[in-house]
Amino acid sequence: MSGSRTAPADVGHIACIGAGVIGGGWVAHFLARGYRVTAWDPAPDASEKLHRLVDLAWPALTELGLAEGADRNNLTVAETLENAVADADFVQESAPEDLELKRDLLARIDAATPVDVVISSSTSGFTMTEMQERCTTPQRLVVGHPFNPPYLIPLVEVVGGEGTEESAVRWASEFFEVAGKSVITMDREVPGFIANRLQEAIWREALHMVANGEATVEQIDTSITEGPGLRWPLFGPCLTFHLAGGEGGMAHMLDHFGPSLKAPWTRLEAPELTGELRDRMVSGCEQAADGRDNAELVAQRDSAVIAVMRAMQQLKEAG
Amino acid sequence: MSGSRTAPADVGHIACIGAGVIGGGWVAHFLARGYRVTAWDPAPDASEKLHRLVDLAWPALTELGLAEGADRNNLTVAETLENAVADADFVQESAPEDLELKRDLLARIDAATPVDVVISSSTSGFTMTEMQERCTTPQRLVVGHPFNPPYLIPLVEVVGGEGTEESAVRWASEFFEVAGKSVITMDREVPGFIANRLQEAIWREALHMVANGEATVEQIDTSITEGPGLRWPLFGPCLTFHLAGGEGGMAHMLDHFGPSLKAPWTRLEAPELTGELRDRMVSGCEQAADGRDNAELVAQRDSAVIAVMRAMQQLKEAG
């Protein structure tokens, strides 16, 4: 079946189901990359909403550089879901986060979409195994989880469900790469995937602090924007701590700060820091450092932090 | 007593105790801001380590712009702790995270430092109440928690212990502002303060994922650097979700995604989303938005994300 699939690089026409912030963001992204997009949403003002979202995103997309042939007029808003998907090379679903709704909607999309076309869901946290159970051809359904706004933030997490063929997961990952995204292909389903689990951990801790009067919304946001948020565009949490370990890297960091994993620094209980976990963290960081020693990593991080701070300063002065 | 304290703007000479990554980072920061610094660390190679750390930081600090009179030669490495603090207008302690060690060290610093001088600890997570118990003049001891690297990341969290005078907390906050930092003054002690609790929640979730084989170190770091990490330099987690709520803002976000607080998206249990918590989040975000509507916030976020992505791209091309 996957033999008759349009090659990822040959996709020309995309169906986007859902006209919320995420659905509209996908529409803007695909239009800016030169695709024809047919969208559908049950809301009576779907067309108006979508055009407003695209218009809001377009200056940023123009600034970043539009693909050849990219045109806002390549957007059609269909009257029915069936019309939207009938002729698509790829379908991206971005309905509200409601499992029953998604199960029904994906079944409808599945029934109306040519059987060799991959269907991807923007779900923030449901697994495809949960969502695909009412589909007759579940093998081509994947999660393609973007970040807000999908027209700017590169990350898409791709993962299949139990009923998904590996070829569909591979196809979707390749397609998203062609469409300009940074793809993480997950081998197994985890609720919330990767980035949302990390982000959700921050978010829940923040809610606890506000609920307990330990910090205000403003203090929480400032603690990130003036603190670790300035390091994260270049190095993620692991490589950041690899650097915090100084010349001893992650190994020193875990040996030195390991005991603080027992400290009540968050409501989240830490895992046991077994020798195996320690070694995985250390070797993962060594791989990520890719031969760069502490001095090189420090110099790169410093350049990045300075560039980010300058950019933020300029925005503040301009605003 | 606080009447005889040097005014925050008149501080000229700072003692830095500890020559690790954080202690050395403080030394570099204070030198770059034009202060005279006397440092001490029990390690036999303390002087060599400190000079290496300062040299590593200096290009970035020069790039950012040194204060008038800033000079690497304004660093003296003292032979004894007592000599280091005897003549200081302010003391910053950055010893290893070991509670017993810090209790003893702070008591020694306290005994040797003129009584009207504020002493600040870089501790990542201990409370000052725990640490100051062996001091005879605990009223001038505060936490001044920086982020790595202290010479670049602006954030300092300031909080006192039960034995600390409010005037010392105020003095420290003012001094750190004068010294070029972004200060969050906390009203009460929470283990890990604010940013570390948030960061630690991410870190623990990441360790769980690696321990369970759910994600690799590389996937975790990529999920941040290509995802939410690009948004956080401008808007923290709260304002980010305010935007994710579209025109309905945080109120819509909580009503729509509220149920996902029950989902197993992280090992961290969420607090009950009471009406009071909801209202605090909503009004905090409205205050932070400060009259900017969704379109304005989106435009600012988009400009920031583009600026950050461009800066990272340039760094990658240069490297």
pLDDT the model gives residue A265? 87
| Residue B174 and residue B232 in one domain | no
Nearest by CB: A288 against B221, B228, B277:
B221
pLDDT below 70 — which residues of chain B? 1-3, 319
Q: Scanning the structure block, which residue is given the tokens 């030198």?
A: B31
- Residue (of A204, A274, A197) closest to A237 by Cα position: A197
Q: Are B230 and A233 an interchain contact pair (Cβ–Cβ within 8 Å)?
A: yes
Q: Is the residue at B10 inside a domain?
A: yes
What strand order describes the sheet that includes B36-40?
B75-77, B36-40, B13-17, B90-93, B118-121, B141-146, B155-160, B182-185
Q: Is the residue at A161 inside a domain?
A: yes
Nearest CA in chain B to A216: B284
| Residue A131 and residue A251 in one domain | no
Nearest by CB: A154 against B226, B232, B295:
B226
In order along its 319 residues, chain A shows pLDDT tens digits of 445 899 999 999 999 999 998 999 999 999 999 999 999 999 999 999 999 999 989 999 998 899 999 999 999 999 999 999 999 999 999 999 899 999 999 999 999 999 999 999 999 889 999 999 999 999 999 999 999 899 999 999 999 999 999 999 999 999 999 999 999 999 999 999 999 999 999 999 999 999 999 999 999 999 999 999 999 999 999 999 998 888 889 999 898 777 778 888 899 989 999 999 999 999 999 999 999 998 899 889 999 999 999 988 888 888 6
- Digit-coded pLDDT (tens) for B262-282: 888 899 989 999 999 999 999
Q: Are A302 and B152 in contact (CB under 8 A)?
A: yes
| Residue A105 and residue A155 in one domain | yes
What ipTM was reported for this prediction? Answer: 0.94
| Residue A171 and residue A278 in one domain | no
Cα–Cα dist A139/A168, whole Å: 7
Provide the 8-state DSSP code for A171.
H
| Residue B139 and residue B275 in one domain | no
B 243-302 near A (Cβ less than 8 A): 243-246, 256-257, 259-261, 263-274, 276-277, 280-281, 284-285, 287-288, 295, 298-302
| Residue B259 and residue B180 in one domain | no
Domain endpoint, select from A157, A185, A213: A185
On whether any CB of chain B is under 8 Å from the CB of A188, the answer is yes
Q: Are A121 and A131 in contact (CB under 8 A)?
A: yes
pLDDT the model gives residue B2? 47
pLDDT the model gives residue A260? 78
Q: Is the residue at B191 inside a domain?
A: no
Amino acid letter for position A51: H
Min CA distance, B92 vs chain A (Å)? 19
On whether any CB of chain A is under 8 Å from the CB of B182, the answer is yes
| Residue A86 and residue A177 in one domain | yes
The helix (H) or strand (E) run that includes residue A307 is helix A294-318
Peptide bond into A8 cis (omega under 30): no
Q: How far, CA to CA in Å, does B38 sit from each of B79, B281, B293?
A: 10, 44, 49
| Residue A181 and residue A240 in one domain | no
The SS3 call for residue A261 is: helix
Q: Are A264 and B192 an interchain contact pair (Cβ–Cβ within 8 Å)?
A: yes
| Residue B158 and residue B268 in one domain | no
Q: Is the residue at B214 inside a domain?
A: no
- For residues B296, B299, B305, B309, the Cα torsion angle rounded to the nearest 10 degrees is -160
pLDDT the model gives residue B277? 93
Helices A294-318 & B294-318 angle (0-180, nearest 10): 150
Distance of CA B44 to the CA centre of its chain: 28
Q: How far, CA to CA in Å, does A296 sit from each of A61, B56, B148?
A: 33, 10, 16
pLDDT the model gives residue B319? 67
Total number of domains in chain A: 2
For residue A211 the two structure tokens come to 């609920």
Q: Is the residue at A276 inside a domain?
A: yes
Domain endpoint, select from A119, A153, A185: A185
pLDDT the model gives residue A77? 98
Chain A interface mutation, best of B52, B198, B247, B309, highest count of A Cβ atoms under 10 Å: B198
On whether any CB of chain B is under 8 Å from the CB of A228, the answer is yes
Q: Scanning the structure block, which residue is given the tokens 């992280």?
A: B266
Domain of residue A67 covers: 2-185
Cα–Cα dist A307/A315, whole Å: 12
| Residue B177 and residue B232 in one domain | no
Nearest by CB: A204 against B200, B270, B302:
B270
Cα–Cα dist B250/B246, whole Å: 8
| Residue B252 and residue B170 in one domain | no
CATH number at residue A41: 3.40.50.720
Nearest CA in chain A to B148: A244
pLDDT the model gives residue B1? 46
B66: left (phi over 0), alpha (psi -120 to 50) or beta: beta
Nearest by CB: B281 against A204, A210, A307:
A210
Domain endpoint, select from B131, B156, B185: B185
Q: Is the residue at A205 inside a domain?
A: no
Q: What contacts A7, CB < 8 A, 6 or more positions away?
A: none
| Residue A110 and residue A42 in one domain | yes
Q: Is the residue at A262 inside a domain?
A: yes
Q: Is the residue at B261 inside a domain?
A: yes
